[in-house]
Amino acid sequence: MTTLRLGDTAPDFEQDSSIGKIRFYDYLGDSWGVLFSHPADFTPVCTTELGYTAIVSGEFAKRNVKVIAVSVDDAESHKKWIEDINDTQNTKVDFPILADQDRKVSTLYDMIHPNASATATVRSVFIIDPAKKIRLTLTYPASTGRNFNEILRVIDSLQLTDSHSVATPVNWEDGDDVIIVPSLKDEAVLKEKFPKGYTAVRPYLRITPQPNK
């Protein structure tokens, strides 16, 4: 099995879920995707993560992102767990949780790390673009809940930098100034692309207002 890296094509699969059979590529369609794994059902940290993801589901939808979770328990267990999540987190989970009893998805995406656990998945996150390319991978230990605001922030950065010749600096948030990519040097092109102007702190560090704001 090969570890998936940035720029690799995300593997397609068909698997049961809390809402029935899902073929991954069909589910994503032309959307971006976030695939994230959970060590097991009815675990406390996961319950808070899935609850918060449901709470901010509108933020993912605004960015044309479909969310899909995976856990090694079966679909019936997932359905019961969703009831608990909705009750304890005061929300409504409206995205599927893959039932990965046979570890097919966990193996495809290298979500089981034997030195951490031989059976449970680590907390992996994959951001996948509409071309089915992997754009981000994150791996957390089972004991640490993920920051889904950070995942939304990265999606904002990816979508912005895909459509404009910029990169986002440290701690950037949507609406902050950005950096013009060093490869762009033609002054006429710079004036056309960045009519608000820019500040050259150094020849390689040029700051400009976010171009789509």
* Average pLDDT of the residues in 111-140: 80
Q: Tell me, what's the pLDDT at 89? A: 97
Beta bridge partners, 33, equal 66, 128
Helices (H), the chain: 24-28, 44-55, 57-62, 75-89, 104-108, 148-163, 187-193
Query: Does 1 score more than 70 pLDDT?
Result: no
- Work out the pLDDT band at 121, boundaries 50, 70, 90: low
Catalytic pick among 46, 70, 93, 97? 46
CA pair distance 213, 203, nearest whole angstrom: 24
Digit-coded pLDDT (tens) for 76-88: 999 999 999 999 9
> Residue 123 is encoded by which pair of tokens?
């907390």
Q: Which residues neighbour 196 within 8 Å (Cβ) at sequence distance 6 or greater? A: 208, 209, 211
CA neighbours within 13 Å on the CB side: how many for 47?
16
Closest to 102 in 3D by CA, of 142, 80, 75, 132? 75
Confidence (pLDDT) at 2: 63
User: pLDDT of 34-75, one tens digit each?
Assistant: 999 988 889 999 999 999 999 999 999 999 999 999 998 899
> How much is the average pLDDT of 118-141?
86
Q: Decide if 143 contacts 125 (C-beta within 8 A).
A: no
**What letter does residue 117 receive in the DSSP assignment?**
-
Domains of the chain by start residue, with CATH: 14-146 (3.40.30.10), 164-208 (no CATH)
Q: Which helix (H) or strand (E) holds 206?
A: strand 205-208
- How far, in Å, CA of 63 to CA of 152, rounded? 9
Express each pLDDT in 140-198 by its tens digit: 888 889 999 999 999 999 999 999 999 999 999 999 999 999 999 999 999 999 999 99
Task: Decide the pairing of beta strands 32-38 and 65-71.
Answer: parallel
pTM listed for this prediction: 0.92
Q: Is the pLDDT of residue 94 over 80?
A: yes
Residue found by looking up tokens 């040029």 in the block: 206
d(CA 97, CA 80): 12
105 has catalytic annotation? no
